[in-house]
Amino acid sequence: MPELPEVETIKRALKKTLQGATITNVALSNKRLRFPISKNALSTIIGQRITGIRRRAKYLLFDLENNLILLAHLGMTGKFYLAHASEQIRQHDHIRLTLANGHELRFNDVRRFGFVDILQRDHANKHDRLKNLGVEPLEKTFNGQCLFSKTRKTKKPIKNLLMDAKVVVGVGNIYASEALFMAGVHPKKIASNLTKEQCNRIAIAVKQVLNDSIKQGGTTLKDFASLNGEQGYFAMRLQVYGRRGENCTVCSKPIDRLVLAGRSTFFCKNCQKL
Ligand SMILES: [Zn+2]
């Protein structure tokens, strides 16, 4: 399943290639995606120029000239790839946007948990998928102060809070474990008991693990064509995740595992005291 760093990398690649391109036609397969979209709705973007491509959480937003937004989510197996319009359609190509330059942006999704929707820019923040999203972890608004205030009234373990998209978006299970190790905070620590200093360290660590992963992605996906490649977590250098029983890279004691909210959580008892 594509994670935030991957979606960010895909966004950058799409932006480089598609910003300024004009959509001249659209086509749909007869298979339903996670949410259905009608040919009529999709047709409203014909003739429109793509003025920008943004990311919000794990959603891609294509801004169009006529104040519409094409919203896309990759689900489990969704991917975008670019082909010449004359190139044969592949199995699982569900949406095709023909561009004025003779190319086609194709949305291919084997399991069809992904989807595409068209929305009015003015109503974007009220869209069902976007309205309850928390802060973006890579933006300045996510910092120690922000995390400190969001943790004051909750008895949840900090790891669960970090993975709550209503609080902060895009911090997946692996990233949460890695960031808490980097910050020296036990994953089970009750959020309201965190000090401001710990919140600062966690916010910095979250940004660092995500940025490291984006950097990896930048080298993995060198050009747009590779958007078609394998998806999942980028090959990160993991300090704790999946390393139960192996030596901690800081203190050499064995890494532990526990389960929080049904998810495997890895940490060092010695470096991350409760
Ligand atoms: Zn350690």
195 Cα to the center of ligand 1, angstroms: 21
Question: Taking the CB of residue 44, how many other CB atoms lie within 10 A of it?
Answer: 14
Q: Which residue of the set 3, 8, 104, 178 is catalytic?
A: 3
270 Cα to the center of ligand 1, angstroms: 5
2 Cα to the center of ligand 1, angstroms: 29
Q: Does the annotation mark 263 as catalytic?
A: yes
175 Cα to the center of ligand 1, angstroms: 17
Q: Which residue of the set 55, 58, 159, 201 is catalytic?
A: 58
31 Cα to the center of ligand 1, angstroms: 50
- For residue 129, which of 205, 200, 73, 63 has the smallest C-alpha distance? 73
269 Cα to the center of ligand 1, angstroms: 7
97 Cα to the center of ligand 1, angstroms: 50
pTM to 2 decimals? Answer: 0.90
3-state secondary structure the chain: CCCHHHHHHHHHHHHHHHCCCEEEEEEECCCCCCCCCCHHHHHCCCCCEEEEEEEECCEEEEEECCCEEEEEECCCCEEEEEEECCCCCCCCEEEEEEECCCEEEEEEECCCCCEEEEEEHHHHHHCCCCCCCCECCCCCCCCHHHHHHHHCCCCCEHHHHHCCCCCECCCCHHHHHHHHHHHCCCCCCEHHHCCHHHHHHHHHHHHHHHHHHHHHHHHHCCCHHHHHCCCCCCCCCCCCCCCCCCECCCCCCECEEEEECCEEEEECCCCCCC
Ion ligand 1: residues, CB < 5 A = 248, 250-251, 268, 270-271
Pair of tokens at residue 27 = 């086509």
Residue listed under structure tokens 């709550």: 164
pLDDT tens, per residue, the chain with 274 residues: 788 988 998 999 899 889 999 999 999 998 999 998 999 999 999 999 999 999 999 999 999 999 999 999 999 889 899 999 999 999 999 999 999 999 999 999 999 999 999 999 998 889 999 999 999 999 999 999 999 999 999 999 999 999 999 999 999 999 999 999 999 999 999 999 999 999 999 999 999 999 998 888 755 544 444 454 444 456 677 899 999 999 999 999 999 999 999 999 999 999 999 9
CA-to-CA distance for 199 and 205, rounded, in angstroms? Answer: 10
242 Cα to the center of ligand 1, angstroms: 15
Q: Does the annotation mark 6 as catalytic?
A: no
Q: Does the annotation mark 2 as catalytic?
A: yes
Q: Which residue of the set 188, 207, 263, 269 is catalytic?
A: 263
In sequence order, the 6+-apart residues with CB closer than 8 A to the CB of 30 are: none
Q: Does the annotation mark 3 as catalytic?
A: yes
